Every structure is written in structure tokens, then in C-alpha cells.
Amino acid sequence: MKTENQPISPESINFPSRLYMEILSELQVHHSLFYHLWNLGKPSFCSRIPTAQVGFDREGNCINFLINPNFWDSLSQPEKLFVIAHECMHVALEHGIRGIADWGPRANKMMDVVVNHTLVNKFGFKKDEIDPSNKYCWIDTCFGEYADQIEENQSFEYYYKMHKKLFPDDDNGGSDGKSGSGGSGGELVDDHSGMSASELEGILKEVKEVMGDAEKESLQEIFESISKTAGKGAGGMEWFVHKTKVIKKAKWETIIKKWTKKYLRTEEKDVDQWVMTNRRMSMLSQELFIPSEMEMEEDSDEKDRIQVWFFQDTSGSCSGFRDRFFKAAESLPKERFDIKMHCFDTEVYETTLKSRKLYGFGGTSFSVIEQYIINYINKHKEPYPEAVFVITDGFSNSFSCKKPQNWFWFLTPDSTTQYIPKESKIFKLSDYE
């Protein structure tokens, strides 16, 4: 981590635009907080650092995300999103203020405990996906044999004081193995010193301005306990929340809209135009009428439309979502997406946005969906769909699919996840409007 406001090194290269947009889209699934901070940042690959660093760029008034390309390539997609969200959380909680960072390894590790557990407990990250070897800072790795005495969802101060009480001589935060039964004591995802509160003020203010009221209010419960930092009162999150307001739920259809953004990106192109005067020619006589080049945004055009499949469970508990099921599919631009509509029970039935008809209303089988997809793509020599959106109560037979990470499950009340692959993305409709 840079301890000063150093510029990006010459060997740094910017993220490819497509990679940047894909990450931007997937971060939104977890929360718009990560989306906005990443969107206001400047991510780059940099071979001079071992893993990842985050620092403040005073000249550009933005956050520099520096990531070693070899480290990046070694991570799975969930791990990549976790590393980015982890750094965003440190920024949002102002964990980089020098008054805390200079306390040493123990303080850094306890801040990581707060961030890591919050990302899992509150933002939908799965521990077995983001840290399969259990090497990072968690309650069990940092507190070892005393883990059952430690509460989750607590503030940095709580974990710091508890660790100092239980391990008064272990200023390294357990890195020497003293904090557990032979464990590592937890590794830092990254060093997060080097940002002062004053430097972050502009970035956090900008996030506040672009984030909607419902988004800000949704953070209230999450940050009530974890936003406290020593000497800072309510910490950096106090301006996000308003306790007098009722928390509004977002519509579940927003998940689908956010997913589409990874394929809907714009590019800038210099074009001749006659309306606006080039700044270099602004002092010339207004009687001159000459063209100038201006950067204009235009939609990037790709040859093939992206395949997206929708499946509506027609059992009794799910059929009530019929209208919103079709409206969600209609939100995708037809010129960019090849939308295939279906409903299912123990068979799959084709339907269309125009007819809006549902069929079946019998039992439920998930395996018939995968078999239907495989038969179709083999027959038509088409790729596996980029996204499969399913509305269901989750009660079915066990099944496996070729690309479970491409499946998005929207579960009705009183549902189960027992029969859904853990690699898929699962959303409870009760959490949405």
C-alpha cells in the first residue's frame, strides 16, 4: 500500500474496458456502493506490487486500484470481486486514516475481520468461494480457540479490544500462529494504510451524490455496528444513512437490468460536427463556420446477439409473478439480446413476449430445463446461454448443469435452495419490492 500519494508507476497499464465493465456490472449484484466506488476509481495492472494496493490519486481526485496481473489471473471470478469489494469497504469505512493504520498489524487484521465478515454476512459473498483455503482474517483464524467467545457483526474497536485482551503479547495479530491452535492467525487481503480522511472526503461526497436515497438507506442496518472507528465517532458511513427514514426495497427486476450493463457499453469516437466550436478556435470570429472534431459517445456494435433464457415455474406459488416475469424480459434491448421465453413444470414449454401465455401447472423439475437447453444448442449449434433467469420456489429434483454460474434464481417466499447449485446466483424475492 502506498503510504504517500504516489503516481501510478510507468509499468502500470489500465484495465481493458470490457473487463472493467464486466466487473462494474457484477459488483452491482452485491451492492451499488461497490459499483460507485469502482466507477470512480482508476484500476490498473501493475507488476511491481505483489498482490493488490489501493491509494488516493490527488491529481486525478480518484482512487487508484493497483493489481498484480499474475495475482489477478490466479483468482477465481468470485475472488476477484471479493478483493475489489474488500478494498471498497475499507475506503467507505475510512479504515485508511493514519491514526488507526499506524497502530500496527493487529489493528490492520481486526479491520479485515470486520470487512470480511460483513461482505459475507451482509453483501452476499460466499466464504467457501472467496477464501476456499480459509487463509484470510476471520474470527476463527484470528481468534483460534477463543473464536466461540467472539461475536460477529461487531465494530473494529470491539475486535481490537478483544484480541488485545486475549493475546496481549501478540501485536502481530496472530501472524506467528499464537492466535489459534496452530493456525496462521489470518492473512491480510491487502495493506490498507495510506489514505487520510481529508483525502477521502471528496470521493465519499461524490458517491453520496450519485447514490439514490433507497440505496443509501439500505446501508443503514448494515453499518450501524461496524462503522465505528477509534476516535471517529460514527465513522465515514454516518453520512450514508438517515435513521428517520423507512428503508425502501429495490425491485428484483433491477438484478436483470444490472446484468445487462456488462454487454451495453459505450465508446468515444472523434467525429466532425458543426454545432459546437472547438476550444482551440473559440477566439476566432463567430462569422467563421468551420467543422471541428468532438468526442462523441456511440454504442459499440457486436456481431452476435447475446442469448438470454427466461424460465417461469408454473406451480401455484410462482404463477403470481407472471406479469413481472414478462416485463423483466422486455427490459432487455432486442437488438442486443436474443431473448428466449419459457415456462416449466415437469416439462418445458415455449412462450413469447407477445402471447404472454403460461402452460403446465403440474409438478416441478429443474433437470428438464438443462436438458432442454442442451438439446436446443446442440441442434442449432449455438453457445450455452450467457444467462438463465429462473423464477421458482426451489422445490424440485436435484440436478446439475454445464454452467451453473450463468444461472440466476429468484426464489418465492417459503422456498428452498437445497436443489440449486451453489455456484449459481440466488436471490430471495422477499428481499425485494
- The residues, any chain, with a CB within 8 Å of residue 103's CB and separated by 6 or more, are none
- Of 171-175, 217-221, 273-277, 364-368, which gets the smallest average pLDDT? 273-277
Q: How confident is the model at residue 374 (pLDDT cuts 50, 70, 90)?
A: very high
Question: How far apart are the C-alpha atoms of 7 and 408, rounded to whole Å?
Answer: 40
Residue of higher predicted confidence among 101 and 400: 400
Instruction: Give, in degrees to the nearest 5, the angle at Cα 59 between 55 and 61.
Output: 65
Backbone angles phi, psi at 39, to 5 degrees: -65, -30
Residue of higher predicted confidence among 10 and 323: 323
0.75 surpassed by pTM: no
- The residues, any chain, with a CB within 8 Å of residue 156's CB and separated by 6 or more, are 93, 95, 100, 107, 110, 111, 114, 226, 228, 229, 230
Place of cell 466550436: 277
Mean pLDDT of all residues in the chain?
A: 75
- The pLDDT tens digits for 184-226 are 478 888 755 545 544 556 677 777 777 766 677 777 667 765 6
Extract the C-alpha cell encoding 235: 465513522
Q: Which amino acid, 268?
A: E
**In contact, 390 and 412? CB cutoff 8 Å:** no
- Of 153-157, 291-295, 322-326, which gets the smallest average pLDDT? 291-295
Give Cα 240 to chain centroid, integer Å: 18
Q: How confident is the model at residue 274 (pLDDT cuts 50, 70, 90)?
A: very low
Extract the C-alpha cell encoding 164: 488485545
Exposed e or buried b for every residue in 39-60, given b needs 16+ CB within 10 A?
bbbbbbbbeebebbbbbbbeee
- If one counts every other C-beta atom within 10 angstroms of the C-beta of residue 121, the result is 14
- Residue ranges and CATH numbers for the domains of the chain are 1-248 (no CATH), 266-299 (no CATH), 306-431 (3.40.50.410)
Extract the C-alpha cell encoding 424: 449459481
Q: Collapse the DSSP code of 316 into the 3-class scheme (helix H, G, I; strand E, B; otherwise coil) and give the result.
A: coil
Q: Which pLDDT value is given to residue 246?
A: 45
- The pLDDT tens digits for 133-155 are 999 999 999 999 999 999 888 87
Q: Which amino acid, 208?
A: K
Give Cα 149 to chain centroid, integer Å: 31
Q: Collapse the DSSP code of 59 into the 3-class scheme (helix H, G, I; strand E, B; otherwise coil) and give the result.
A: coil
Q: How confident is the model at residue 268 (pLDDT cuts 50, 70, 90)?
A: very low
